[in-house]
Amino acid sequence: MDNIKDIVKPLYTDCFSVTKDGDPTATMEKLLADDFQSIGSVESKGKKELIGQIEFFWKLVPDLKWEIQEMFADDKHVIVRSIASGTPNGDFMGMPTNGTKSFKIMTIDIHTVENKRIKRAHHLEDWATAMRQLKG
């Protein structure tokens, strides 16, 4: 993989987006560096915590899609603007849902790639909009 966009893309297509026969854990084990950090506005997660969160999301939002809208790259960074959508069924961020309402939000991520693995991701997702959409 000479293009670092090709290293990052499967995170969205094979991990964040639910696929019929997918295995997000195995894919993330390959894509993410052992000392990977996911850094948000308030908290950071390591590789193990992110894998656990994605596994939970696959169960909670069985139609979850994370569609890449744009990707920009330099020699070690990939910036991704994407649209996340889905129909949760269960406790979604403290809100009870029953699989009848969906959300669609924008996300922005800045990935740092080192040694052909994702070392760090700074991310921002518009979860406040998702909560408003789910409330109706």
Give all domains of the chain, ordered by start, each with its CATH number: 4-135 (3.10.450.50)
* pLDDT greater than 90 at residue 32: yes
Model confidence over 81-129: pLDDT tens digits?
999 999 999 999 999 999 999 999 999 999 999 999 999 999 999 999 9
Q: What is d(CA 24, CA 19) in angstroms, rounded to the nearest whole number?
A: 9
pLDDT, position 112: 98
**Residue 59: helix, strand or coil by DSSP?**
helix
**23-30: Cβ within 8 A, 24+ apart:** 24/51, 24/54, 24/55, 24/58, 25/51, 25/54, 25/55, 28/54
- Averaged over 50-57, what is the pLDDT? 96
Q: What is d(CA 16, CA 107) in angstroms, rounded to the nearest whole number?
A: 12
Model confidence over 64-83: pLDDT tens digits?
999 999 999 999 999 999 99
